[in-house]
Structure 1
Amino acid sequence: MIYLLALIAFVVVIVLLWKAFGPDTGADTKRVSGPDDDPEFLWKMDRDNFKSRTDRPEKGTPESRE
C-alpha cells in the first residue's frame, strides 16, 4: 500500500514539475482572430449597412417615384 501512495505522489510531483518548467504552451502569444471576431470590423460593417439603408429611399415613398 505504501508503494502505491509513493507512486501516486511521484506522479503528482512529475506532473507539477512538467507544468511549471515544461515546454511553453504559447499562452503568451497573441491570438489571431478573423474579421468576424473583430469588434471594430463588425461596428464598421453595421455602420456601412445602416448608411446604405438610410441613403436610398424606401419603396412606396413619394421620393422613389420620381
Structure 2
Amino acid sequence: MIYVLALIGLVVVIVLLWKSFGPETGAPRGRVTGPDDDPEFLWKIRNNPARDRGNGPERPDAGTPGSVD
C-alpha cells in the first residue's frame, strides 16, 4: 500500500514540475500595447485629413494673450 501512495505522490510531483517548468501551451505572453503606443494608430492620427481641414469650430479667443483656458 505504501508503494501505491509513493507512486501517486511521485506522479503528482512530476505533473506539478511539468506545469511549472514545461513548455507553454497557452496564449503567447506578448507585450500589450495601448492605442497611444501603437504605431499604426499614431500614423492614422498624424495623417488624418479631417484634422487638416479644420472641421471643428474654432474658438475666437484661442491664442490671444490673456485668454483663460
The answer to whether the superposition gives a TM-score over 0.5 is no
TM-score, reference length from structure 1: 0.35
Higher helix share: 1
